[in-house]
């Protein structure tokens, strides 16, 4: 009799792992993927963001987002403007640069122009890091990089990208270095034409790139050695010519 009572419960317990596995699969599956492909491809792009172009799933979702940039930007505007600093926010800001259009440039500019976040004061004797502040700052820097990256897959928006980066360099002091760095990569030799927009504090960005000071002595010694070897080779050849 007792065996008959326990038998149904044993069947239920044996089925629990199967039900749990099915629940996880359902949770991971895209909700209403056929009816809402935008949500599916946004989630998929975030999921495969780390392997990036090495992932076929990422390439497929990125292609879809580049075909529907306005809708994708509209879906992400709320989260990236209201969500506190986090790794997820950084991912969204990065992704916007991968598929963005004019609306994306405007959204990224809104991110960079938000008031600078303030780190929470640490408790006396504490060496803890304010993760939310750090992630928020990372998202701001990434907004600059994402703006620049839009010009690589949407070259017709290059002028708008340059204008936005120039505004960040002029109006947001803590983003100036990042914005000028991206402008230098984007413009090449044309970058020097922007020198008049900035004061002496930004002069280092427009000077020829020099090696670190600790390398100067090493380079000087190597150049001197090269000159001596070249001179010795010339003298040897002259002697050979005279002997002939």
DSSP, residue by residue, 3-33? HHHHHHHHHHHHHHHHHHHHHHHHHHSPTTT
Residue burial 154-176, b: 16+ Cβ < 10 Å; e: rest = beebeebbbebbbebbbebeebb
69-161-174-172 Cα dihedral, nearest 10 degrees: -100
pLDDT at 17: 42
For residue 202, count other CB atoms closer than 10 A to its CB. Answer: 16
Task: Compute CA distances 207 → 73, 179, 183, 215, whole Å.
Answer: 37, 16, 14, 18
118: left (phi over 0), alpha (psi -120 to 50) or beta: beta
pLDDT at 5: 44
CA 146 to CA 63: how far, in whole Å? 17
Is this structure's pTM higher than 0.75?
no
CA 180 to CA 100: how far, in whole Å? 21
CA 136 to CA 133: how far, in whole Å? 5
Q: Tokens 């990256």 label which residue?
A: 149
Query: What confidence tens digit (pLDDT) does each residue in 182-219 have?
Result: 999 999 999 999 999 998 888 888 887 655 555 556 66
pLDDT at 190: 93
CA 49 to CA 41: how far, in whole Å? 12
| Structure-token pair, residue 157 | 């928006």
69, 100 Cβ separation under 8 angstroms: yes
Residue ranges in the chain modelled with pLDDT below 50 = 1-34
């Amino acid at each position: 009799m007792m065996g008959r009572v326990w038998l149904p419960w044993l069947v239920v317990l044996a089925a629990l792992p199967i039900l749990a596995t099915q629940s996880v699969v359902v949770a991971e599956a895209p909700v209403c993927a056929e009816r809402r492909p935008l949500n599916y491809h946004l989630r998929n792009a975030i999921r495969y963001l780390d392997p990036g172009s090495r992932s076929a799933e990422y390439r497929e979702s990125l292609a879809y987002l580049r075909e529907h940039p306005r809708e994708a930007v509209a879906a992400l505007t709320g989260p990236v403007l209201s969500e506190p600093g986090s790794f997820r926010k950084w991912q969204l800001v990065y992704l916007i640069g991968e598929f963005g259009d004019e609306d994306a440039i405007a959204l990224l500019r809104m991110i960079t122009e938000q008031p600078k976040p303030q780190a929470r004061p640490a408790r006396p004797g504490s060496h803890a890091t304010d993760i939310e502040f750090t992630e928020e700052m990372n998202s701001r820097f990434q907004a600059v990089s994402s703006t620049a990256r839009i010009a690589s897959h949407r070259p017709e928006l290059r002028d708008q990208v340059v204008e936005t980066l120039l505004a960040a360099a002029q109006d947001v002091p803590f983003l100036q270095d990042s914005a000028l760095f991206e402008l230098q990569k984007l413009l090449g030799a044309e970058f020097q034409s922007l020198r008049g927009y900035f004061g002496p504090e930004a002069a280092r960005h427009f000077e020829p790139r020099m090696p670190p000071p600790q390398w100067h002595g090493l380079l000087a010694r190597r150049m001197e050695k090269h000159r001596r070897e070249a001179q010795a080779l010339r003298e040897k050849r002259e002697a050979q010519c005279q002997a002939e």
